[in-house]
Structure 1
């Protein structure tokens, strides 16, 4: 498996992995947002070829919140290829 180049992808094209065992509280999402605002998007969401989130569900949630709040439609992702 190889990690592709980091790209911007429309948040509506991403879908959460149904088997993700981890949940994020509102406090954690706010902490993620503060980190992204302070340092930038340094750790992209890892996605499969079909847009399923493999890692970075919290960052994906933050992107979704930003889309609703400010109309920002894109999220930094690194596609994982086979």
Structure 2
């Protein structure tokens, strides 16, 4: 995988008051960044594939019951615990 810069996550770090808590990661369809919001661990996801951009739908439906909690979303990504 290519090295990922924190720069691509910067708009959301400030917007959602997130602090990086590890190195960025890449999968075949997303860029991920472990973060902290206050003392709570979470993951910032920037999906690159269209089906992954709609990944918030089941998370919203399940509302944390048997799935990761969706803390926030934007047109370009997800923020979940």
TM-score in same-fold range (> 0.5):
no
Higher relative contact order at CA 8 Å, sep ≥6: structure 1 or structure 2? 1
Taking structure 2 as the reference length, the TM-score comes to 0.31
